[in-house]
Amino acid sequence: WPLCGRPCIHPMGGALNCIWTSQILHSLWWFLAFFEMTGAGPISRVFSPCAHLNLGPRIKVTTDASPFGIGGHLVVDTVFIGFFFDWISDLDLQLLGITRGSSDGQQCLEGLAALVALRLWEKIWLNHRCLLSFTTGNITALVLVRRLKCSSPGLRLLAQELALDFSMSSYEPDSTIHTPGVQNDVADALSRAWDPAKPQWALPAVLHSATR
């Protein structure tokens, strides 16, 4: 603002030393989220000789989703360590912009299951070197985790959340593996805990010694 009290107008339109924020506001919010997560800094990453040699436990995270819920389990060196399952709430549908039971909704729910699993067990892989593989029966979820690129608004939101998690980590998953649905029976069973067609649902036997 000049001394006269009137704003200086650029010949091409708009005030001097100002920019339109609508095009970049979304990105700025994500930068702000990252800075709030990291704190005042400095940001440090530790890489040990074991990390250089790619040594560490073999960790596999497997997920699945149904129209009624999401589920997944954690395996460390062939031993089932943990699992989760949760129902799909109206808030989930609202945030992802999907309709319950729609085909587009299924893709977003598969992505949601991936985000929940990786965030739930982040202390195991986030800043520790391990042979981490992510497996699921859904190709869209694999692309989401591997490339952080998707088309629909709901999946883009999930990809941004995953990118925020990966920005805090020293490592990303070593591999993403597609598991055919018929072989993904444990995660599939977890995702159907609230399926009205399965009133006699029971926890898979291999998870009886694992922690929910």
SS3 154: helix
Work out the number of other CB atoms within 10 angstroms of the CB of residue 80: 18
Per-residue pLDDT reduced to its tens digit, 9-27: 555 556 667 777 788 888 8
Tell which residue, 84, 167, 159, has the closest CA to residue 127.
167
Please state, in angstroms and rounded to a whole number, the distance separating the CA atoms of residues 53 and 51.
Answer: 5
CA-CA distance, 134 to 141, in Å (whole number)?
Answer: 10
Distance CA 206, CA 78 (A): 11
The C-alpha atoms of residue 170 and residue 152 are separated, in whole angstroms, by 28
Task: Share the mean pLDDT of the chain.
Answer: 82
Q: How many helices (H) and strands (E) does the chain have?
A: 8, 5
| pLDDT band per the 50, 70, 90 thresholds, residue 181 | low
Tens digits of residue pLDDT in 38-70: 777 777 766 667 766 767 778 889 999 999 999
Residue entry with tokens 């005030």: 15
Question: pTM for the whole thing?
Answer: 0.75
And the tokens for 61?
Answer: 């995270």
Asked whether the predicted pLDDT for residue 28 surpasses 90, the reply is no
Give 177-197 as a 3 state SS string.
EECCHHHCHHHHHHHCCCCCC
